Amino acid sequence: MAWICSDATSSWLRDLGLRCYTLLYLIAYLTCCLMLGACTTGVQFAAAGTGAGGDAPPTEMITEQLIETERRLQAAQARQDLSPLIVPHPAPYTIGRGDVLSIVVWDHPELAGGGMTAAAAIADGGTVAPNATPPGFAVDHLGRIQFPLVGLLPVEGLTEEQARSMLSKKLARYLAQPSVTLRIQAFRSKRVYIDGEVKEPGLQAINDIPMTLVEALNRAGGMLPSADQSRIVVERGQSRYLINLRDLVQKGVNPGAVLLAHGDVVRVHSRDESKVFVSGEVVTPRALTMHNGRLTLNEALGESGGVSPLSGDARQIYVVRKAGERTRVFQLDARVSGALAMAESFELRPKDVVYVAASPLANWNRHLSLLFPGALTSAVGVTTRP
């Protein structure tokens, strides 16, 4: 019995020695690999101002000077001439082709042309079929109406008051002191199109109420919660204007002064189109939605749970940005003084990628696990066996 115990003890000691030797060999080997590859841990980008890294973009350290330069550059890019859209005092509505006029010559119902009959029917509670042509005098493709006694009368481009005055002068040749009432009964000549993140996208007719941007959005039922108020695009002919409502208010410009014109297309972009992607060694990698066009590096890291305390390297926080035909890479060293303030001041842009690199120790552990899966755990278990 003593011999058996002695043989089992000897076998266990030999097994222990072999595993300890394997453990020491692995540690020595991987330590050499770590020392040789210490400069290659994390994300590899060329240093700013050098040609190292081949085609890799240069890395720009995030500093106060860089933040100020980026702020000025972004302000210059966002600056555009909105003067064609800003009209503080809109002009009265002018008659256009396709509009339908209601004209009443008092004491002469025979000249009503159906306008007075329609008005009386509506007053009595009657209705007009939705697809029916409204009764009245329609402005033809040449901008004219045909009125009894007067004949063809050009009214395109005139206000209601101007058209009424001109018709009264024409009728004065045949009637003594004619009393004329002229109103636009159907607005069909001018329209704008609202698309995107609004409750009721589609066509909106321009009427005697000035069609400002705010009025158009309200007629479309208002913006949805998913709308990005910093990315409202107005397309007019070959011109394209990007409107940031928050920025307009900060500059003291009333959004109600942005006047739309016939044929304008208004598109309200979704916040989902302006996402920032946070990956790497953070607690919760995720895609973040910008808050009306604004999101700082500090906010992006905070909403992702921050840098992982177990595997993240606070020295290697990168922001990868596609700028035109090239890629820019910014790096923040969170250990330096004032790093949190710089992260709060560094504005991200849509489609930016925030990446936190792994620490050297985390890389060492992962390399060991990939080369020898379970070897380190097994060896440690042998040495700790009672």
Secondary structure class of 1 (helix, strand, coil)? coil
What are phi and psi for residue 19, nearest 5 degrees?
-70, -35
Round the average pLDDT of the chain to a whole number and report it. 80
**264 and 321 share a domain?**
no
Report d(CA 33, CA 38) in Å as an integer.
8
Name the pairing type of β-strands 326-332 and 312-323: antiparallel
Question: What's the pLDDT at 116?
Answer: 43
**194 and 182 share a domain?**
no
269, pLDDT greater than 50:
yes
**283 and 359 share a domain?**
yes
Question: What's the pLDDT at 119?
Answer: 45
**352 and 278 share a domain?**
yes
Report d(CA 49, CA 58) in Å as an integer.
7
Report d(CA 201, CA 270) in Å as an integer.
13
Q: What is the mean pLDDT of residues 299-305?
A: 93
Pairwise pLDDT comparison (121 vs 218), residue with the higher score: 218
Count of Cβ atoms closer than 10 Å to residue 234 Cβ:
22
171, pLDDT greater than 80:
yes
Give the end of a domain, one of 271, 294, 311: 271
**279 and 141 share a domain?**
no
Question: What's the pLDDT at 3?
Answer: 43
| CATH code of residue 345 | 3.10.560.10
| Residue 139, H or E segment | none
Question: What's the pLDDT at 50?
Answer: 43
208, pLDDT greater than 80:
yes
Give the end of a domain, one of 271, 287, 305: 271
37, pLDDT greater than 70:
no
Q: Which domain holds residue 114?
A: 100-186
Give the end of a domain, one of 271, 303, 336: 271
| Tokens standing for residue 276 | 């920032």
364 in Cβ contact with 37 (< 8 Å)? no
The answer as to whether 68 is a domain residue is no
Question: What's the pLDDT at 288?
Answer: 92
**182 and 116 share a domain?**
yes
**215 and 351 share a domain?**
no
**182 and 139 share a domain?**
yes
Classify residue 303 by its DSSP letter. Answer: H
Per-residue pLDDT reduced to its tens digit, 335-386: 888 888 999 999 999 899 999 998 887 777 776 676 666 555 554 454 444 5
**244 and 288 share a domain?**
no
Chain mean position to CA 279: 21
Percentage of the residues of the chain whose pLDDT score is greater than 70: 74
Pairwise pLDDT comparison (53 vs 252), residue with the higher score: 252
The answer as to whether 324 is a domain residue is yes
The answer as to whether 25 is a domain residue is no
Question: What's the pLDDT at 128?
Answer: 45
| Residue 196, H or E segment | strand 191-196
Return the ∠ at Cα 308 (arms to 304 and 312), rounded to 5°.
120
| Tokens standing for residue 64 | 């106060």
Q: What is this structure's pTM?
A: 0.68
**266 and 245 share a domain?**
yes
Question: What's the pLDDT at 356?
Answer: 94
Secondary structure class of 158 (helix, strand, coil)? coil
**210 and 261 share a domain?**
yes
The answer as to whether 356 is a domain residue is yes
Dihedral angle computed from the Cα positions of residues 180, 184, 190 and 195, in that order, rounded to the nearest 10 degrees: 160
Question: What's the pLDDT at 78?
Answer: 67
Most confidently modeled range among 174-178, 190-194, 251-255 = 190-194
**237 and 196 share a domain?**
yes
Neighbour-count burial for 54-88, b at 16+ CB within 10 Å, e otherwise: eeebbbbebeeeebeebeeeeeeeeeeebeebeee
pLDDT bracket for residue 126 (50, 70, 90): very low
| CATH code of residue 182 | 3.30.1950.10
Question: What's the pLDDT at 52?
Answer: 45
The answer as to whether 262 is a domain residue is yes
Number of structural domains (the chain) is: 3
Secondary structure class of 35 (helix, strand, coil)? helix
